[in-house]
Amino acid sequence: MESNPQIVWDNCLNFVKDNIQTQAFQTWFIPIKPVKLQEDVLSIEVPSKFFYEWLEEHYVKLLKTALTRELGKSARLVYVIRMENSFGNQQPHTQQIPSNNRSIRGAQEVDAPLNSYAGELKNPFVIPGIRNLQIESQLNPNYNFENFLEGDSNRLARSAGLAVANKPGGTSFNPLLIFGGVGLGKTHLAHAIGVDVKEKYPEKTVLYISAEKFTQQYVDAVKKNTRNDFIHFYQLMDVLIIDDVQFLSGKSGTQDIFFHVFNHLHQNGKQVIITSDKAPVEMQDIEQRLLSRFKWGLSAELHLPDYETRVSILKNKLYNDGVEIPEPIIAYVAKHIKSNVRELEGAIISLIAQSSFNKAAITLELAKEVVNKFVKNTKREVSIDYIQKVVSEYFQMDVDTLQSKTRKRHIVQARQLAMYFAKKFTKASLASIGSQIGKRDHATVLHACKTVDNLSFTDKQFRKYVEDLNQKLTL
C-alpha cells in the first residue's frame, strides 16, 4: 500500500476529476493539501470550516469512494482546518472524520467568526435604525451594454461581461478582472454587468462600490467595533463589484477583510467583479494571496479604441444627445483624439458647447480650433519624471540632487514635495513613486506625504511652496 500522502491524494484527485465538473474541481479540490498518511488514515488541510462543511455535504460520497480505492475499506479521512484570524496568524484545528458519511457538524465546534454570525446585520447603505435590510445596488442605469459599443479594443472584456451577466457565479470568469488605462470604460462595463444582472435576476443582491469607499466603511466599522456587521453585510451579496481595486494598495487591514469576503463569496458560487488600472502582475503592495485569487478567473484588458470604434462612439453619443454633426467633422475628431473614450466624448461636448455659446454652426474649422485646444490641454500627462523636473527647477537644483541620499533640510523637503505631488497627480503606487524618486520604499513616500500635509498647516513659507508647485503642475 502506498505510504506517500501526496501520491495517494493525487490518485484520489484523478478519480474525483473524472466525476465532477472542471469548475467545481478547481474551486473545491485544488486548494486542498495532503498533510500526512498514517496507515489507512489520510490527513488533508482545508482553508476553512465552511470549506470542509461544503465537502461533507456535497462530496463526501465521492471522497469516500476515491479514498477506499486507494487505502481499502478501513480508510479514514482527517481534516486539518487552518483558520486565519484578523491579525494574519494561523490556528490549525484538526477533526477526524470517519468514512461512513457522518457529518462533521456533530463534532466539536471550530471558532470561525467569518461564518458563524447570527446577529442583526447592519447595512452601510441605509439609515441606521431601519430594520428591513434593503440594499441599493449603487448602479448607474445609464451605464449599460447598449451604449458600451463593441470594438477590437474591448471585445474580450465585453463578451466576458455578457457571459457573467447571463450566468453570474456560474461561469469560469469568477472573478472577472477588468483592467486598463484611464477613461477606457472599466467602470462603465462593471456597471453594465450589474445592471444586466438586475434585469435578468431581480431577486439577486447586486452591489457596486469603489475600493476607496469599501476602505472607508471598513475603517468606520473598526472604529465603531462593528467589524462583524461589515463582514456579514458583504457576505450577503450575490454579485459584488469592486471598482479601482488598486486603491487597496498598502492597506493590509482592508486587504485582509476583502480576502475573507472574497473567499466566502467565491466558495458559495457568488460572482465577484473587479476593475483595476493595472494587470495583477503589475499591482504593487497587494498581498500575494489576494493577487493569486484575482488570477483564478479571467483578466480582460481594455485597450485604446481604434479609429472605427472611436467613430461609432461619437455617433452613438450624438444620437443619444439628439445632435447632428456632418460626417467629415466626426471623422476629424475621431482621427485626432486617440487617448481614451472619456476625452473623446469630452471633445465632442466642447465642440457642441462652443457652437451653442457662440451661436455658430459646427464647421470643420470650428472643430479644428476646438480639437487643437483640447489636444493641447490633454496631451501632456503629469508624470513622475515631469514632477521631479518641475520641483527641481523650482528649488534651483538638478534631479540627481533631488534623488540623492543627502539629509540637508531643503533637499529633503524638495524630495518630499515631489513624492507628495506624484501621489496627488499620478495613479502610481507608493512603491513605484519611491522607486522612481531616489529608490525609496513605500513607507518613505507615505511619511513624506504626511509631512507635507502637516507642514502645510504649520509653516507659512512651506504652504507657499505647495501652492506655487501646485499651480505650475496644473497649468
CA distance 129 to 119: 15
Contact 296, 175 (CB under 8 A): yes
Range of the domain at 430: 384-474
Q: DSSP assignment, residue 298?
A: E
Q: Is 420 a domain residue?
A: yes
Q: DSSP assignment, residue 449?
A: H
Q: What is the CATH number of the domain that holds 204?
A: 3.40.50.300
Domain boundary among 302, 332, 352: 302
Q: Is 457 a domain residue?
A: yes
Q: What is the CATH number of the domain that holds 87?
A: 3.30.300.180
Q: Is 111 a domain residue?
A: no
> Would you write out the chain's pLDDT as a tens digit for each of its 475 residues?
557 889 999 999 999 888 887 777 887 888 898 988 888 888 888 877 667 777 877 788 888 888 888 888 888 888 887 643 333 334 444 444 443 333 333 222 232 222 322 333 344 544 333 333 457 788 988 888 988 888 878 888 999 999 999 999 988 898 999 998 777 889 999 999 999 999 999 889 899 999 988 998 898 888 888 888 888 888 889 999 999 998 888 888 899 999 989 999 998 999 999 999 888 877 778 888 888 888 888 888 888 788 888 888 888 777 776 777 888 888 888 887 776 777 777 777 777 777 666 676 777 877 777 777 666 544 455 788 889 999 999 999 999 999 999 999 999 999 999 999 999 888 778 888 998 999 898 889 999 999 999 898 888 899 999 999 988 887 6
- The structural domain count of the chain equals 4
- One domain for residues 186 and 51: no
- One domain for residues 199 and 234: yes
Closest CA to 168 of 235, 231, 237: 237
- One domain for residues 160 and 294: yes
pTM for this prediction: 0.51
DSSP string spanning 45-66?
EES-HHHHHHHHHHSHHHHHHH
CA distance 297 to 280: 12
Q: What is the CATH number of the domain that holds 375?
A: 1.10.8.60
Domain boundary among 88, 103, 118: 103
Q: Is 390 a domain residue?
A: yes
Q: Directed axis angle between helix 364-379 and helix 327-336, to 10°? A: 20
Can you list the alpha helix ranges (DSSP code H) found in 279-398? 288-294, 307-321, 327-336, 341-357, 364-379, 384-394
CA distance 382 to 474: 9
- One domain for residues 169 and 296: yes
Q: How many Cβ atoms are within 10 Å of 413's Cβ, its own excluded?
A: 19
- One domain for residues 204 and 280: yes
b/e map 397-411, b = 16+ CB within 10 Å:
eebeebbeeeeeeeb
Q: Is 16 a domain residue?
A: yes
Domain boundary among 79, 103, 127: 103
Q: Is 333 a domain residue?
A: yes
